[in-house]
Structure 1
Amino acid sequence: MRDVRAGWAVLVTAAVFAGSGAGTGWADAAEEPGGSPPALPEAAAVRDGDGCLPPSETVIDRRVWTEDALGLPEARGFADGDGVTVAVVGSGVDDAAAALDGAVQGAGEDCTGFGTFLAGVVAARGQDGSGLTGVAPAARILAVPVTDDGGAAEAGDLAEGVERAVDGGADVVLVGAAVPADGGDGGSDGVLDAAVRAAAEADALLVAPASAPVDGGAVPAAPGPGDGVLAVAATGPDGAPAAGEPAVDGEGRPAPVDLAAPGQAVMSVGPGGDGHFVSGGDPVAAAFVAGAAALLRSRDPGLSAGQTAERLVATAYPAPGQAAGVLLGAGTLDPVAALTAAPAAEAGGGVETAAFSPDPPPALTTGRTLAVVAGSALLILVLGLGGAAVKYRRTRED
């Protein structure tokens, strides 16, 4: 049984100017007022215009809220991801940031910046003067670009990316491009299904977003949950679902969710340098789960991909209530419990509501597969060590 006491507070002021105006959409991204990190649109970016994301000039030196919300400092006392390779199937990974220097195989250009952001969530190395450390900072990242320069991908692209990840020896495959489960490309779902089966046979665990944004809302994402696949939904700093309602398919069926993890007001690195960005969405939540899977497989290399998935689900904080279960699956990721094999003893656990939590940004107008990038500004102030930290108290029965 565990008791998580929220003695921490987060204050976020957010202003998102959605739209598809003229220009690159990145004009205000390089440096935000007040020393706050610039925003990447949630759920990945499809650029609306020319040019690539410029580097951020802002580095936050305070420890980010996700560290204590997930008990990551304690988790890293058991394992750090050494010996595990996590493939990031998405827009590519730029390793210009010192936090990713030497950690990435296949590094290259990342025009939208989202693949780099996800890689940082998984495996950023801690740096002096930076409050950011990845979930599994000793893990290796395998960059598998599958999107076009605008950040768009389809089911066939994902299938190819999963195959390349498996061929590259990935132990964990993070699907970092949110693609609707209907495929959107004339029947490539069968190819993706075959790639997923091949990954399971190769003992690689796939971690994927549960939903993909489209015009008018969100729909179930590909690949869906199944053998060797964990579908992940996002939560906010208060532990509540980031989505107000389930993503549904054309017949009104909700997107299946296995697990939930932080996916709102998350900080990580981006392309071009050491500066920080803020983003969110189900792919970001999936990155936290992929990092936790890397910790688990690092601590116990004998665990299969299926056993790793089962452990992560079984030790999650149970989602309170039936409605929350639809949005959060088995509950919220608990890396320490997974590493110590101490599953939740009773329902209703989880992160208590913070004194201040960010409001979700207004819904963006989306394209066929990913969110259309806006010329946006998201001002975030994380109250770090000056406030109290989330303290994990656990008593375990042998």
Structure 2
Amino acid sequence: MASVLGGRPGLRSGAAAVLAAAVVAVSVGGPAGASADTGGSEGGGSDSPTALPEAAMVAEGGECLPPSETVIDREVWTEGALGLPEARGFADGGGVTVAVVGSGVDDTAAALDGAVDGAGEDCVGFGTFLAGIVAARGQDDSGMVGVAPAARVLAVGVTDDRGVADAQDLAGGIESAVGDGADVVLVGAPVPAAGGDTGIGAALRTAADADALVVAPATVPTDGGPVAALPGPGPGVLAVAATGPDGAPAESEPAVDADGEPVRADLAAPGRAAMGVGPGGDGHFTSGGDAVAAAFVAGTAALLRSHEPDLDAGAVAERLTSTAYPAPGAASEALLGAGTLDPVAALTAVPAPREAGAAPEAAAFSPDPPTPPTVGRTLAVAGGSALLILVLAVGAAAVRHGRTRRT
């Protein structure tokens, strides 16, 4: 098995300041690399972005992740990019439990206080980071809020203190999460795909029988580059790939599996320059990767299951993929699957009328692609509305002209 690395190369020292700038959304400026500052409550001026510490998937050293001393009080880019404020107007995740299967969840941060079942130590901090992406409660002095802030988090620890797990650990974690009533199971443990009977198949059947949707990273980082991750795409599983603040795939080309075939993703979501909470207090961290992207999808699944509780896990997966923004071209499709996650479209999709016995099809309300800055999205929507009004006006005039000629 290839060894799993902790964190992406190049996200250290001075580069962390650039990443922190990308984390925060600016009111009119561009995405990653813009001159935005973090504006954190612990300091950092407009000319010197505050560097956030990284919560890596796997720890490189033998020490636990120390608490962050920086709290960012500005809205992060993922809020506008995914239209999350609008999406939370339809549902907040109430009544839904999302299991985070990974390194554990520390609920010391006020944003997770009272939101986590099974909370405890999280030496790596990555499980806590994922839990915050899914369900962090909004705080007055923080720009960080989870996708589904009223959802419950179920912490299922399966890794060692470095964040490493194997297939049997993951399979047991999925079964434990389902047994404890999870509606959505988020896989946050880095387990490269391997041959042999790992117990994953049985765990997925257990999840399917319990109507639990499994959301997992499409790949995990190793010392040889990204490789296919367990459990992999298939019935009852959504495999998720990461995008950056500009909407482009986080990777330039698909990873390949043991047979040399491209690793397939079902869906894509933000997975670079993401901000979240961590262990030991209210300070913020940054992280990335397909598992972070999967956390955004798991949170959106919680919104959808809260909004439409009669939808089963398969219907939730179909809704999320069918309402995604399509990947632009064959190259991107290989990296982004069905396209980029669109929470608002998923929550507002209206099933088209169908004959008895026919497969369901969704006619989705689809706003413009969620890429920052949000002002561009607003202008595009306004422009589309103006065009629609113009078409209706021309049509009405033609009808009146026809009636005049007949009289």
Q: Classify the TM-score, shorter chain.
A: 0.7 to 0.9
Contact 2:323 2:366 in 1 (8 A): no
Q: Deviations over 1:124-153 (max 9, x none)?
A: 000011001100000000000000011001
Q: Deviations over 1:79-125 (max 9, x none)?
A: 00000000000000000000000000000000010000000000000
Aligned to 2:52: 37
Aligned with 1:210 (options 195, 218, 236):
218
Aligned to 1:175: 187
The alignment-based identity, stated in percent, is 67
Aligned with 2:89 (options 77, 84, 90):
77
- Give runs of aligned pairs for residues 355-394 of structure 1, distance below 5 A: 388=375, 391=378, 393=381
Contact 1:64 1:267 in 2 (8 A): yes
| AA matched with 2:158 | V
Cα deviation, residue 309, structure 1:
0.3
Aligned to 1:281: 289
Aligned to 1:62: 74
- Counterparts of 1:31 and 1:225, CA distance in 2: 43
Aligned to 1:24: none
| AA matched with 2:206 | A
Cα deviation, residue 348, structure 1:
12
Aligned to 1:370: none
Which region of structure 1 is more displaced relative to structure 2, 221-230 or 118-127? 221-230
Aligned to 2:349: 341
Aligned to 1:10: 31
- Give runs of aligned pairs for residues 245-260 of structure 1, distance below 5 A: 245-260=253-268
Aligned to 1:103: 115
Task: Please state whether the residue corresponding to 2:300 is helix, strand or coil.
Answer: helix
Contact 1:74 1:336 in 2 (8 A): yes
Cα deviation, residue 40, structure 1:
2.4
Question: Higher helix fraction: Structure 1 or Structure 2?
Answer: 2
Moved segments of 4+, more than 4 Å: 30-34, 342-349, 387-390, 394-397
- Counterparts of 1:213 and 1:329, CA distance in 2: 19
Contact 2:345 2:367 in 1 (8 A): no
TM-score by length of 1: 0.80
Aligned to 1:157: 169
| AA matched with 1:243 | E
Cα deviation, residue 206, structure 1:
0.1
Cα deviation, residue 332, structure 1:
0.2
Residues 344 and 262 (structure 1), Cα distance of their counterparts in 2 relative to 1, 3 Å cut: farther
RMSD: 2.7
Q: Deviations over 1:210-239 (max 9, x none)?
A: 011222211111111111100000000000
Count how many residue pairs are aligned between Structure 1 and Structure 2.
338
Aligned to 1:88: 100
Contact 2:349 2:363 in 1 (8 A): no
Contact 2:55 2:278 in 1 (8 A): no
Cα deviation, residue 48, structure 1:
2.7
Cα deviation, residue 178, structure 1:
2.2
| AA matched with 2:233 | P
Cα deviation, residue 49, structure 1:
2.6
Cα deviation, residue 393, structure 1:
3.3
Q: Give the number of the structure with larger relative contact order, counting CA–CA contacts within 8 Å between residues 6 or more apart.
A: 1
Cα deviation, residue 313, structure 1:
0.4
Contact 1:320 1:348 in 2 (8 A): no
Rg bigger for which structure? 2
Q: Deviations over 1:182-217 (max 9, x none)?
A: 16xxx342x111001110110000000001122221
Contact 2:345 2:366 in 1 (8 A): no
- Counterparts of 2:324 and 2:216, CA distance in 1: 17
| AA matched with 1:164 | S
- Counterparts of 2:128 and 2:215, CA distance in 1: 17
Contact 1:175 1:208 in 2 (8 A): yes
